[in-house]
Structure 1
Amino acid sequence: MTSIGGAEMVDWNLAVATAIRFVRPGPEVSPDEARAVVAELRGHARASEAHVREFTRMIPEGHEPEDTPVLVVDRAGWIKANVAGFRELLTPLLDKMQERRTGGPTGAVLGAVGGKVTGVELGMLLSFLASRVLGQYETFAPATRELPAGAAGGGRLLLVAPNIVHVERELDVDPHDFRLWVALHEETHRTQFTGVPWLRDHLEGEIQSFLGETDVDPMTFLERLREAAQSLAGARPEGEVGDDDGGRSLVELVQSPAQREILGRLTAVMSLLEGHADYVMDGVGPRVVPSVAEIREKFQQRRAKGAGRLDLALRRLLGLDAKLRQYRDGERFVRAVVDQVGMDGFNRVWTSPNTLPTKAEISKPADWIARVHRRTDG
């Protein structure tokens, strides 16, 4: 998502403007309905905090972690928050690429592309995603008046109201139950980051290591973009044999061997976080969400099928199919560990980066139990 050779690597303002211009319009609601939805989501977020803490036992009784704000936003608000987060994360990489700009024909061509085209590309990507995200714990964007954060530099919980309303209507489920169900999942993420103080810095360090290994040679970058275009079109170089899904994701296409190792660790962490949120949502849901069984079944069907051919192609290219696998694999890991050693035994996963599961252990929970519990109990 970056270009090489321009005076500005990414025109961030243009990225925001492009995304807001092309994002799909939200569902039609009256002003009174909109105010009621916002108020209800805020109330559900507050209620979910107590439910999640009681179920997960991640935060000891009497200990009050850093308070982080809950922001109910529209699609434009989600876009602005994520552009701010991307800018913060990508600045070291962009500075590195700026230093490596090359002269000659290649540099001239890439310089002509410049930051404005890259801003448009990023904006189009975010316009696609902005109508699909129900909620997010955003932790990397710096605090501003429009995007407040925790007092100690933590993040903020975003609930995307128009998307929640759109999905509850599409699924034809009880809106009040669905809103609480979504809040439980997203509140679990907030509890993960506020209850595990080292988690944010660990994730940021892994991401910066991944970006630091990025191959910034311009010709290599162009070749990777060509491969990405082939992947989106469903093409494959002659004689190449790959997965039956028709191509690799854009993330996979830009990896060096070192990046693959880092990405394996990141995949394991994200599988844990997403699977844990799903597990908590299912654990708390039956007690507080009367129609949770219907919601879960319909939502799983929606998650799996996507909206159409283009949607499926973009999901594959962006690696969103891998995210769906993270929910399934991570939830199976959490469930298996809790079944074997209980919730307190599972919570040893939050002790330090060394007790996080590896990618292999996500698929084999017994290996994680043997490694962590044998070492700490022996």
Structure 2
Amino acid sequence: MTSTPANNDDETPKDPLSEMLANLMGGQGMEGFDPAALAKAAGLPDDPQALSALFAQVQAMMSNQSDEPVNWELAHDNARQAVAGGDPSVTAAQSREVDEALRLAELWLDPVTDLPSTGLIGRAWSRAEWVEETLGTWKRLTEPVANSIAFALSNTLSEQLPEEMKSMMGGASSMLQNMGGALFGMQLGQAVGALAREVVSSTDIGVPLADLQMALLPANIAVFGEGLDLPEQDIRLFLAVREAAHARLFVQVPWLRGHLLGAIESYARGIHIDMSRMEELARDLDPSNPEAIQAALSEGVFMPQRTPEQDAALTKLETALALVEGWVDELSFEASRNLPSAAALRETVRRRRATGGPAEHAFGALVGLELRPRRLREAATLWAGLKEQRGIAGRDAIWQHPDLLPTADDLDDPSGFGDRRKLLDASDSDVDAALEKLLAGDFEQSPDAAAQADHQDDGETDDGRDSPGASS
């Protein structure tokens, strides 16, 4: 039996694929539609809950009308969904414990650093609150590579369509563009949500994700302490000292947050998508496996080998991260010496930061960057040596300007940096003293300069001509 085409209110012709997708995703003409039958035909599992979530995600991909290439709303929703199960609300008792721990941490830090207290109020966050407070910074850090992947996905999907389908695309081409941004948004949201289950504080990954905040996550601290056989109060207090130390550094050194985030953005902008890998995936994509592209994203298959410029940028970034973590590591241990478990907790945190958790690895594969301070121990040794040579104030003065910071080469020889810094300080002091004398009019001329002045007085002007009255 021949079906009669539906009449349109307007006379604008619609391409078949666009009309089909619009009807399917918009819910029009869906009477009698059987999702289970469609799923069976596509080879999808017959799970009503999974199917409902899948169709909701596909509808979001197709209906996104944002001008941005990445669907950040979908990233937010997926991050919240990733922490929805097993995210207990913070109790009043937990808030009080976190507040007391951070207040005590500030007192312990006062004698071991020249940087003053921040005056920030400590917070206890749930995982969902961590997502809300940090997602804006995640967007800033990942936007360069996210845009590249979204555009590459949409272009590749379009190019891999058979010729007979390209003529049918019409208005559906924008849907493919939306799909590219949505796929990355979904994957990013899941990665951020997974991180929310691992981090113990607002600065746990060494970067200030939440501006001017000081917070701990009680649920994750409990997970962190599993198997350590240490008092819960000691664990919370040690992590509070680390959070308070991070907060002092980022608040009292105003240029540092922008320096770190800028280095990450600069590295991300240099990432170029491996189009050959993406085209290979598109050719081999199995329509019955809707998770294939997301799996490829999570495995980082689109990330090419780094260029020499990227290697240099990564070295600079990793050095900055190591310097921050090394300073925090050294101060936290000094401030917590009266905790019997301080040494054990310090080593646990060091290993955790050096290796990274599963979620951190997944996020690194997605955006081509793992925010791990690989040289934390060398940096901690460098800061300890500076304290012995220059004292607390001299050590912390290194943070006055980014040009004063140690380099990757300095981390190769931490003990020698102090001696090199002394030479630079002495040189700077000589220049400053000379300028002060010059400005005060007390500058003593060198013998050569004095002789030249006498010669000029005897018969030559400054321009070399004989002065009036001089003998020829």
What is the CA distance between 1:292 and its match in structure 2?
Answer: 2.3
Q: Aligned partner of 1:356: which letter?
A: L
**Maintained 8 Å contact 1:26/1:162:** no
Deviates more, 1:344-353 or 1:217-226: 217-226
Write the distance in 1 (CA, Å) between the matches of 2:190 and 2:147: 23
Amino acid at match of 2:328: A
Deviation at 1:259, TM superposition (A): 2.8
Q: How does 1:266-345 map to 2 (within 5 A)?
A: 266-287=317-338, 289-296=339-346, 314=362, 317=365, 323=372, 325-345=374-394
SS in 1 for 2:374: helix
Bigger Rg, which one:
2
For residue 355 of structure 1, report the CA deviation from its aligned partner. 0.7
3-state secondary structure, aligned to 1:156: coil
SS in 2 for 1:325: coil
In structure 1, distance between residues paired with 2:215 and 2:418: 33
What does residue 10 of structure 2 align with?
A: none
1:237-262 CA distance string (max 9 Å, x none): xxxxxxxxxxxx89985744333222
Read off the aligned partner of 1:136 and give its amino acid letter: S
Of the three residues 212, 217, 224, the one matched with 1:167 is 224
The aligned counterpart of 2:407 is: 358
Residue of structure 2 equivalent to 1:14: 74
**Distance across 2 between alignment mates of 1:25 and 1:211:** 32
Distance across 2 between alignment mates of 1:304 and 1:356: 21
Code of the aligned partner of 1:76: A
SS at match of 2:406: coil
1:111 matched residue in structure 2: 177
Could you tell me how far apart the structure 2 residues matched to 1:211 and 1:158 are?
27
Rounded to whole Å, the distance in 2 between the matches of 1:251 and 1:356 is: 34
- CA distance in 1 between counterparts of 2:392 and 2:320 reads 18
Q: CA deviation at 1:365?
A: 1.6
1:27–1:12 Cα change, 3 Å: closer
Cα deviation digits, residues 22-74 of structure 1 (max 9, x gap): 3385587xx8x832122111121122223223211123xxxx76x54533211
Residue 262 of structure 1, aligned match among 313, 327, 339:
313
CA contact (8 A) 2:145 2:268 kept: yes
Shift of 1:362: 1.9
- In the aligned structure 2, how far is the partner of 1:78 from the partner of 1:370? 42
Rate the CA distance shift 1:356–1:269 in 2: closer, same or farther, 3 A.
Answer: same
Equivalent residue of 2:398, what SS? helix
Determine the C-alpha separation between the residues in 1 that align with 2:310 and 2:372. 18
Q: What letter matches 2:74 in structure 1?
A: L
Measured against aligned partners, the alpha-carbon deviations of 1:11-30 in whole angstroms (never above 9, x if no partner) come to: 222222212323385587xx
Count of aligned residue pairs for this structure pair: 335
Aligned to 1:136: 202
CA–CA distance in structure 2, aligned partners of residues 314 and 346 of structure 1: 36
In 1, Cα distance between equivalents of 2:123 and 2:96: 11
Q: Give 1:224 deviation, angstroms.
A: 12
In 1, the alpha carbon distance for the partners of 2:417 and 2:146 equals 37
Q: Which range moves more in the overlay, 276-285 or 192-201?
A: 192-201
Which position in structure 2 is the counterpart of 1:49? 106
Is residue 354–residue 376 contact of structure 2 (8 Å, CA) maintained in 1?
no
Alignment of 1:88 with 2:140, yes or no, is yes
In structure 2, list runs of 5 or more residues that go unmatched: 1-60, 162-172, 283-293, 428-472
Distance 1:251 1:377 in 2: 50
Matched AA of 2:320: V
Structure 1 portions without partners, runs of 5+: 142-153, 234-248
Describe the shift of the 1:268–1:229 C-alpha distance in structure 2 as closer, same or farther (beyond 3 A).
Answer: farther
> Structure 1 pair 36/363, CA: closer, same or farther in 2 (3 Å)?
farther
CA RMSD of aligned residues (A): 4.2
Which of 261, 266, 270 in structure 2 is aligned with 1:209? 266
Query: Would the alpha carbon gap of residues 189 and 224 (structure 1) be closer, same or farther in structure 2, given more than 3 Å must change?
Result: farther
Pick closer, same or farther for the CA change 1:11–1:95 going to 2, 3 Å.
closer
Change (3 A) 1:332 1:208: same
Q: Name whichever of 337-346 and 50-59 sits farther off.
A: 337-346
SS in 1 for 2:214: strand
Quick one: structure 1 residues 75 and 320, their matched pair in 2 at CA, closer, same or farther if it must change by over 3 Å?
A: farther
**In the alignment, is the contact (CA less than 8 A) between 2:329 and 2:380 conserved in 1?**
yes
Q: What's the offset of the Cα at 1:195?
A: 1.4
Alpha-carbon contact 1:89-1:140 (below 8 Å) kept = no
- Give the structure-1-normalised TM-score: 0.72
TM-score using structure 2 length: 0.59
Distance in structure 2 (CA, Å) of the matches to 1:362 and 1:134:
28
Contact 2:225 2:235 in 1 (8 A): yes
- Please name the residue that 1:151 is paired with: none
Task: Give the corresponding residue for 1:120.
Answer: 186
Higher relative contact order (CA 8 A, sep 6+): 1
CA contact (8 A) 1:57 1:344 kept: yes
SS in 2 for 1:198: helix
- Alpha-carbon offset, residue 162 of structure 1: 0.8
The answer to whether structure 1 residue 196 and structure 2 residue 247 are counterparts is no
Of 132-141 and 271-280, deviating more is: 132-141
Contact 1:27 1:166 in 2 (8 A): no
Aligned equivalents of 2:176 and 2:389: distance in 1? 55
